[in-house]
Amino acid sequence: MTARAIADAVRVGERSARSVVDEHLAAIEAREPELHAFNLVMGDSARATADAVDAAVARGEDPGPLAGVPVALKDNLCTRGVPTTCSSRILEGWEPPYTATVVQRVLDAGGIPIGKTNLDEFAMGSSTENSAFGATRNPHDPSRVPGGSSGGSAAAVAAGFAPLALGSDTGGSIRQPAALCGVVGVKPTYGRVSRYGLIAFASSLDQIGPFAGTVDDAALLLETIWGHDPLDSTSIGSPPAPLGDVPDVSGLRIGIVEELTDVDGIQPEVRAAVERAAAGLESAGAHVERVKVPSCVYGLSAYYLIAPAEASSNLARYDGVRYGLRVDGADVAEMNAKTRAAGFGAEVKRRIMLGTYALSAGYYDAYYGQAQKVRTVIIRDFARAYESFDVLLSPTAPTTAFELGAKTEDPLAMYLSDVCTIPTNLAGHAAITVPFGTGAFDLPVGVQVLAPALGEPDMFRVARAIEGLAP
């Protein structure tokens, strides 16, 4: 049952929110021990919230567009009084004193937070194996990863634990796991969704977005959470244009990005899915051509300088003073260093080291400064492409889900799984992944639709069309 169908039924009293929640909690109980999608299942509070929704309906009130719909929340989204860990020992047991804007908007729309989902520690990773609390497994094949970093949210939707989930996407952390788990994932335009209450990783790249089983449900959740928020100074002020509900692509100009489709190591089935989707769009009346966005090939290198640099600064706040873990030392500096050594996992330390190095005296211009200039070039190249095309098309990830442990000893190989998603974050643009059949080992494949800043309406039209064409 889609989220929209659940909300429609709950709003008119055909179904109780409580029965919806109980059904999903039963699904969680049955398969969560095997998959570990959640750091915390919020059973009691979900039931209480559902009862409040049902009481509102009984009083003749409308609880809102997400009435009674369970929503899984990535465990880097703050909810007042609910443990929020970022899957890190350094925040274990921390209860935020405030609630993220997106979580508040879900609650205000009648939605029901059902749990906090597992992630790569501080959202740094592409497999959800970098969690201090154990890896999440892919519902399609539990010997494989769900992708990452929002692997818990992707797995929760794919396993039927919740019809909707929220994640965050800094270099592909919504889209890549959505593709690997066979669900829809959206990275909205930078600034479109408030980051207030999202624990920061790389502030100029981070963006919150929805996971859903269908494009329409993803639109429902995005329209609930987006829009200006005075609590986030990078929030866009103009009101969002409605996403509409038609899959009509006639007359749209769609470009297949060569540099993101001909990447090294791409599986032939993944490339074939993009070509098949493109052919279908052409039959549906779109104008499809290949297009070059040359600087995309430098996206990965630029990202792995910029994101760690911003992370090394953002994560300086975990110093054992105001929240989370403290390991005692003879003086403050020793306390800081011992706390951070004990609290952070290997990947987080690696990125803090990389970022600190890229920002340090003597290397700033060569690494961080160069990467920032590459970012400008990528933005210019996309602008040129969008003069001739309304949206762009590419694979979401070069491969289907890989086995647990396959890339944990080789950080660079892991980073390469983000190669198709990173340019969108560097440019601050929007992108969506839509499941499109299966590839290697009969595992889900995702096709990515990219759009310029604020291009979500066209992007969703194409995504709806691709969903209708999917095998």
Partner 1 sequence: MSARLSRTDVEHVANLARLALSGDEVERFGEQLTVILEHAQDVAALDLEGIPPTAHPLPLVNVLRPDEVRPTLDREEVLAQAPAAEDGRFRVPRILGEAP
Catalytically active residues, by annotation:
74, 149, 173
Selected from 349, 384, 438, 441, the binder of partner 1 by CB under 8 A is: 349
- The nearer residue to partner 1, 280 or 320, going by C-beta atoms, is 320
Q: Could you give the CA distance from residue 48 to residue 64 in angstroms, rounded to a whole number?
A: 17
- The nearer residue to partner 1, 34 or 410, going by C-beta atoms, is 410
If one asks whether residue 371 binds partner 1 (CB under 8 A), the answer comes out as yes
Q: Is 241 exposed, middle or buried (0-12, 13-18, 19+ CB in 10 A)?
A: exposed
Task: Give all strands of the β-sheet with 287-291 in edge-to-edge order.
Answer: 38-41, 112-117, 70-74, 164-168, 208-212, 184-187, 430-438, 444-451, 391-395, 253-257, 287-291
Cβ atoms 419, 286 nearer than 8 A: no
Cβ atoms 20, 6 nearer than 8 A: yes
If one asks whether residue 353 binds partner 1 (CB under 8 A), the answer comes out as yes
If one asks whether residue 196 binds partner 1 (CB under 8 A), the answer comes out as no
- The nearer residue to partner 1, 122 or 436, going by C-beta atoms, is 122
If one asks whether residue 382 binds partner 1 (CB under 8 A), the answer comes out as no
If one asks whether residue 301 binds partner 1 (CB under 8 A), the answer comes out as yes
If one asks whether residue 376 binds partner 1 (CB under 8 A), the answer comes out as yes
CB contact set of 241 (below 8 Å; sequence gap of 6+):
454, 456, 457
Closest approach, Cβ 359 to partner 1, in A, equals 9
If one asks whether residue 227 binds partner 1 (CB under 8 A), the answer comes out as no
- The nearer residue to partner 1, 55 or 316, going by C-beta atoms, is 316
If one asks whether residue 336 binds partner 1 (CB under 8 A), the answer comes out as yes
Cα 411 to chain centroid distance, Å, stands at: 20
If one asks whether residue 364 binds partner 1 (CB under 8 A), the answer comes out as no
Q: For residues 314-333, which are near partner 1 according to CB under 8 A?
A: 316, 319-326, 328-333
Closest approach, Cβ 423 to partner 1, in A, equals 12
Q: Is 377 exposed, middle or buried (0-12, 13-18, 19+ CB in 10 A)?
A: middle
Selected from 19, 370, 408, 438, the binder of partner 1 by CB under 8 A is: 370
Closest approach, Cβ 33 to partner 1, in A, equals 30
- Taking CB under 8 A as the binding criterion, the range among 57-65, 67-75, 91-99, 393-401 that sits at the site for partner 1 is 91-99
Q: Which own/partner contact pairs does 263-267 have at CB distance under 8 Å and 24+ positions apart?
A: 263/395, 263/398, 263/419, 263/420, 264/398, 264/416, 265/398, 265/399, 265/416, 266/395, 266/398, 266/399, 267/398, 267/399, 267/400, 267/439, 267/440
Q: Could you give the CA distance from residue 90 to residue 96 in angstroms, rounded to a whole number?
A: 14
- The nearer residue to partner 1, 279 or 366, going by C-beta atoms, is 366
Closest approach, Cβ 315 to partner 1, in A, equals 9
If one asks whether residue 406 binds partner 1 (CB under 8 A), the answer comes out as no
- The nearer residue to partner 1, 136 or 235, going by C-beta atoms, is 235
